[in-house]
């Protein structure tokens, strides 16, 4: 008796379906901060909104926030020069 489908074909179809279902979603746009629920005593603000697809952040020892961008493949350097907790300078490094 002959099988109707090859096991490799079945594996590829399953793998493709799982990839479509489990793939991370990248959604552009701005999140409404009011929709984020925080514990009492916590607050949230936007430091910088010009970095698209931010993936990872690292705070430098002189206060520069380095942000890696997933889609563009670049690193952004964000600086708050006046102490208002909002980025004033944006450089691509």
- Is this prediction's pTM over 0.85? no
Would you say 60 and 66 are in contact if contact means Cβ atoms under 8 Å apart? yes
pLDDT on residue 26:
45
pLDDT confidence of residue 35: 86
- Report the pLDDT value the prediction gives residue 71, as an integer from 0 to 100: 80
Tokens 């793998």 appear where?
15
The 3 state secondary structure assigned to the chain is: CCCCCCHHHHHHHHHHHHHHHHCCCCCCCCCCHHHCCCCCCCCCCCCCCCCCCEEEEEECCCCCEEEEECCCCCEEEEECCCCCCCCCEEEEC
pLDDT band at 77 (very low <50, low <70, confident <90, very high): very high
Q: What is the pLDDT of residue 75?
A: 95
For residues 65 and 43, give the distance between their C-alpha atoms in angstroms, rounded to a whole number: 19
Taking the domains of the chain in order of start, what are their residue ranges?
7-92
Residues in the chain: 93
Quick one: pLDDT at residue 22? 44
């Amino acid at each position: 008796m002959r099988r109707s489908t090859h096991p490799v074909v079945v594996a590829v179809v399953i793998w493709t379906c799982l990839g479509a279902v489990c793939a991370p979603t990248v959604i552009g746009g701005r999140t409404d901060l009011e929709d984020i629920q925080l514990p009492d005593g916590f607050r949230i603000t936007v430091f910088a909104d010009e970095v698209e697809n931010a993936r990872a952040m690292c705070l430098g020892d002189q206060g520069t926030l380095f942000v890696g961008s997933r889609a563009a493949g670049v690193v952004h350097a964000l600086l708050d020069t006046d102490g208002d907790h909002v980025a004033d300078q944006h450089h691509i490094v």
